[in-house]
A and B are shown apart, each in its own frame.
Chain A
Amino acid sequence: MAHDSLYASPQRRPGAGRGRRRTAWVPRRWDAALVSALLLVVLGSALLVDGFATGRNAQFLLLDAVAIGLVALPMTLVVITGEIDLSVASTLGLCSAVMGQLWLSGWPLELVVVAAVALGAVLGAVNGVFVTAFGLPSLAVTIGTLAAYRGLAFVVLGDQAVADFPGDWTSAAVETAPGGALPWAMVGTALLAVAFGVVLHATPFGRELYAIGSNAEAARFSGIPVARRKFWLFVVCGAVSGLAGVYWTLRYASARADNGEGLELAVVAAVLLGGVSIFGGRGTLAGVCAGVLLLGVLRNALQLADVAADTLDIVTGSLLIVSVVVPNAVAMARARLARKDRHEGTHERKFG
C-alpha cells in the first residue's frame, strides 16, 4: 500500500481483482450515459435555441472544440496511468510564441510547424524526466512547468503578437469539408482520436496503461516498464500540445505568449467529465470525446440563449463535480453492497 497514495482510490486495493470486474461496468455505463446526454443536449438545443441547428453554428462549435479535443487525447492516457499534465496550455503558449518568433526570423512555415511540434515533445520530455527519473509527483512537476513554460513564452515573444501568417494557412485552419459544417481541423482531430482509441483499447500497450493506473507497483512486478511508459506519454502529451499550439496560432492568426491560457482546466474538465478516474486505471476515450463535445455544445447553446459568461462557468463547474461524484458514489455503494453480501455469508467482523 505504499505506492502512489495520492492517487490510490479507496476501492482499488491489492487483490481486488474480483472487485475490478464488479465495477467494470461503471466506465462503460458512464460513457454510454454521456453519449446519450450529448445527443439529448444537441436535440434539445436544436429545438429550443434559435440559430443552433445550422451548419455555420456547427462549424463555430466544432472549431472551438478542436484545441481542447486534441490535448484531451494524450491527457486521457496520462490520467489513466494515474498521472496528470497541467502544463499543456503553457506548452501550447510557448510553442505558439516560438512559432511566431521563428516566423519573424524568416524560417519557412513548414519548418516552423515541425519545430513547434518538436519543441512540444521536448517540453513534454522535461516533465517526463522529472516524473519518472526523479520520481516526483506529476501534479507538482507540471504545476511548476505550467508557470515556467508560460514565463518562457513571454521571454520569447514579450507582449507582442505575430500576425502576418499567410492567409491560405490561416483560412485552412477554419475551412470546412463540403457542406460547410465540419471543419477539416475537426476531421483531423477525429482521426487522431481514432488512433488514440485503438492504441488505448486494442493494444497490449493500452492495457498496460490501465494496469499502471490501477496499481503501479503490481504493474512493475509483472514486467511493465512503468517509468518508460509514463515518460513517453508525457512526450506525446507535449507534442500534441505543440500541435494544438500550431492550430491555435493559425486559427486565431496570432502567435502570442498568452495563447491558450487556462486551457489546461478545460481539458482536464473534459477528461474527467468523460469518465476517466483522476486516480487512474479507469476511463474510455469515447467517453472523453463525448465529454469534449458535451462541454462544447453546452457552452455554445447557452451562449446563443444569452446566458451570461459567469453563469456558464458555474454550469460547467457543476457538471464537472457531478461527473466526479456520481461514478464514485455508485462504485462505493456497489462495493459496500458486495462486501455486505460476502460478510453476511462468512460471519466476518463487520465494520460500521
Chain B
Amino acid sequence: MLRSDRRGRRRGGASRVGVAAVAWTALLATAACGGTTRDENAEPEDRGGPTGEADPDAPLRDDLVVAFLPKQVNNPYFTVADGGGETAVGEFGGEYKESGPTEASASSQVSHVNTLSQQGTDVIALAANDPNAVCGALDSARDAGARVVTFDSDTNPGCRDLFVNQATAEDIARTQVELIAEQIGGEGEVAILSATPNATNQNAWIALMEEELAAPEYADIELVTVAYGNDEDEKSFQETQGLLRSYPDLAGIISPTTVGLAAAARYLSGSEFQGEVALTGLGTPNQMREYVHDGTVESFALWDPAELGYLAAYAGAALASGQITGAEGETFTAGELGDYTIGADGVVVLGPPTVFEEGNVDDYDF
C-alpha cells in the first residue's frame, strides 16, 4: 500500500505518531466519564426577561456610541440599513460606527462583538449570521454594559434586548398574495418560485401564502406548484421557463426571493409572456427597476432597509437612555417613523412591507 517504505528499523517513529493520536483521543474519552446526552440536557438556560424600571419620559441621551454590526460589510443591503442607522444617530446626536466581517459566516461576528464591547460601545445593533454563535460574546458585552438590538436576523431571544423585525411572516405572505391577486384580476393559476426546498424563511412564507389563498376571496386562484431555483440565477431562470411550459394557463408567479424574482423577470421580459403572465414577489428596487419600467413587473414588495436600520438605532437609544427596558407593551418614539410598541419576546415590527411600483421605484437605491 504505502509505496517505497522500508518497514522495520524506522518503524518506531511512525507508530509513535499513531500512538500519540490514539492516546490523545483516549484522553478525551476518559476526560469526562458519565455520558452527557441530548435528552438529559433539556432546556437551554435563559438569562431571564428585562429587568429594571423603564422611565418613558427620560430624554434620549445625546452621548451614545451606537455601533452597527452587519452580517457582512460591503453588502449593499446592509450598507443601506446601516446608513439608516447613521441618519438616526445623527438626529439624536451620538457617535455612529460600523464594524463587521468581510465574510458572512457564523463565527466571524464574534470578534467584532468582543471588540465593540471592549471599546465600551453603548448600543450594538446586530444582524446575526447565526442565532447562537454570537450569544456568548453578546452576553459578555451586555454584562459590560452594552444594550443589544438585533435587526434583520435575530439571535436567540435570551441574548439580546430587542429584535427589530422587518415585517412579520404574515405581513410578507399577505402582501404578496394581495399583489398577485390584484395583478391577475382575482382568478387563475399561480405558481411560486422559491429558493431552496429547505430554506426556513421561504417555507414559512409559502405555508402562510397557502393559508391566505384558502380564504374565500381567493377562491378562484389556484396554486398549482412550487418550483425551486435554489437562489441561483441560472437555475431560477430555467425553472421559470419550465413553469411556463408545464402550465400553459399560468396567470402569475410569486417569487419570495430576490434572486428568483430578478431571474424570473429577466426571463419574462425576453419572452412572449411579457405582460401576459404577472410576476411579483420580494425584490430590491435596483435589481427590479428595468423590469418595472419595461412593463414586465407591475409591483413587488420588500421592506426598506434604511427604515429598518433607523428604527434599530432609535430602539437601541431608547434602551440605553432608560426609556424602555425591552419588556412587552412598552412604547418609544423612533424619530419620523413615529411610535412603536414592543411585542412579545422583545420584538418590534417595522410594519408591512413597502410596495414598489412605477411611481416610487426610482426613489430607492438598494
Contacts and interface: CB of A to CB of B under 8 A. Distances in A.
B24 A259 contact: no
B4 interface: yes
B1 A133 contact: yes
A304 B118 contact: yes
B136 to A, nearest CB: 6
A254 B37 contact: no
A343 B52 CA distance: 84
B65 to A, nearest CB: 11
A64 interface: yes
A186 to B, nearest CB: 15
A220 to B, nearest CB: 6
Given A161-B106, A163-B131, A203-B13, A227 B5 contact: yes
Interface in B109-158: 110-112, 114-115, 118-120, 130-133, 135-136, 140, 144, 156
B17 A303 contact: no
A310 B73 contact: yes
A88 interface: no
A338 to B, nearest CB: 34
A166 B36 contact: yes
A248 interface: yes
Task: Classify the interface of chain B: helix, strand, loop or mixed.
Answer: loop
B41 A170 contact: no
A236 B102 contact: no
Interface string A302-327: 01101011100100000000000000
A92 to B, nearest CB: 11
A235 interface: yes
Interface residues of A, number: 78
B344 interface: no
Contacts of B18: 232, 235
A286 interface: no
B142 to A, nearest CB: 14
B14 A225 contact: yes
Interface stretch (A14-22, A30-38, A105-113): A105-113
B38 A164 contact: yes
A256 B106 contact: yes
Interface stretch (B26-34, B276-284, B329-337, B355-363): B26-34
B7 to A, nearest CB: 7
Contacts of B29: 110-111, 113-114
Contacts of B215: none
Interface stretch (B93-101, B249-257, B318-326): B93-101
B72 to A, nearest CB: 9
B313 to A, nearest CB: 18
Contacts of A310: 73-74, 102
Given A56-B140, A109-B35, 17 more contacts: A51-B118, A109-B36, A161-B106, A163-B156, A205-B16, A205-B17, A233-B17, A243-B28, A252-B106, A252-B133, A252-B136, A253-B136, A254-B132, A256-B106, A308-B99, A309-B73, A309-B102
Interface of A: 50-51, 54, 56-57, 60, 64, 103-104, 106-111, 113-114, 117-118, 121, 129, 132-133, 135, 158-161, 163-167, 169-171, 174, 195, 199, 203-205, 208, 220, 223-229, 231-233, 235-236, 239, 243, 248, 251-254, 256, 258-262, 299-300, 303-304, 306, 308-310, 313
9 contacts: A51-B119, A57-B118, A118-B25, A167-B45, A208-B13, A239-B24, A253-B133, A254-B107, A310-B102
